[in-house]
Structure 1
Amino acid sequence: MRDQVLRLTALSKSLPGGRRLFDGLDLALGAGEHVAIRGESGVGKSTLLNIVAGLDTADKGEVVVAGRAFAGLDEAARTALRRDAIGFVFQAFHILPHLDLARNVAFPLVLQNAPRAAALARAGEMLDAVGLGDRRRSYPKELSGGELQRVAIARALVHEPALILADEPTGNLDPETARQIIALLGRAVKERGAAMLLVTHSPMAAATADRQLLLTPKGLVSADG
C-alpha cells in the first residue's frame, strides 16, 4: 500500500455571500499518485488547493499533509508545514525577476536555512533535470514561457516535498509545450515518490493523471472515462 501523503475528510466551504462551493469533500492521495481535478470556472478548484496548502481554511473538515493536520497549528507551524512538505506550480510562474535561475530554484532551500553552496548545487541539479542546466545564470526575462514553467517545476521539487500542488500549470502555454510540461511533472512525481494534485481545465493534462475527479457542490466525483 502506498504511504498516504494527503487526506481530506468531510471538507465544506462557502463563500462570504453564502454560496456553498462544496460540502462533504473527501480525498486521499498516496506517494507516487497523480490526481487531476476538473470543473467549471467558479466551482472552487483554486480555493480547494488553497485549503490543502493551509492558505485558506475550510468551514468544516480536516486536512492532513504528510501525516500532520493543519487544524490546531499556529501560523508559524502552518508556514513550516507548507515550506517543508509542499511544492507549488502556478499558471503565472511566480519566478522572482531579480534573481537568476539558480537562485530562484534554490529559494525553498534558503527558506529552510540550507547552506548557500549546498542550496545552489542542488538547484543546479534540478535545472539539469528540467533541461536548463546551461541557463542557471540567466534571468527570467531571458526565458520563454515554457522555460519559465520548467524553472517553476524545478523550484517546486528542489526540496523534495511530499505533495505537489499544480494550479493550471499549462494555462499560458502552447499545446506542444503544455504536453512537455505535463509529462515532465508526471515523471518527476513518479520518480521522486511525491503525490500531485493538479487543477486544470485541460482535458489533455487531466488525461495523464492516475485519476480524474470532477469538483461539484457535493464534493469530488470520478470523471474517468
Structure 2
Amino acid sequence: MPTIYDLKPKFQQLLQPIVNKLAQAGYTPNQVTISALIMSIIFGSLVALFPANTALLLLLPFVLFIRMALNAIDGLLARQHNMETKLGQLINELSDIISDTALYLPFALIENTYAPFVIIFVILAIVAETTGILAMVISHHRAYDGPMGKSDRAFSFGLLAILLSFSTPTYLINCLLAVLMILSLLTITNRCKAALSVN
C-alpha cells in the first residue's frame, strides 16, 4: 500500500551533500541518531509542559521534518561509509519508537484532543514498529508497509499540530485521530502479511 516512505530515495538524494560533509567531518551514524532522539525528547517535553502554546504546535512540523532528515542521514552514513553495526541497528530502532512516543503522546494533554485516542494511536504506532522489526526475525526483511509508517505519522501529526494551532473544531481533530488509528491497524495487518509472505 502506498506510503510517504516510498519518497525516501528522492529525499535521500537531496540529503547526499549533507551526508558527505558529515562523513568528511568524522561524524558517525549513531551520533546523528542520538541527536534526533534528544531533539525529539526535548521538544516533546516542551509540548507536554506547555500544551496550550500555539508557537510550539506551529514549530512541530519543522521539528518532525528535521527528525526525518536526520533519520535518513544516519542510514546513508552507515551504508555508504561502512559504518553499519549491530549497536547502530539497535539504537536506530529503539530511538524511532522512543521519539514517536515523546513527540506524539503529549498531544493527549492538548485541550482539543480526546486523550484516549492519542494514547491508543501511540500504542498502535509502537505495535506497528515492533511488527516491522519482528518481520526481520521471521523473514530477514524489515517490514515498512503502510499506510501509516513512520513518515506518515510525522506528516499526520504535523498536520494535526497546524490544525490545533488554528482552533480547528474538536470533532474534526478527533475524527482525524480516529482515521489515523484505523490506518495504524491496517499498517500492522499489512506488516504481518509482509512478514509471512516472504520465502
Q: TM-score, normalised by structure 1?
A: 0.24
Q: TM-score, normalised by structure 2?
A: 0.26
Task: Say which structure is richer in helix.
Answer: 2
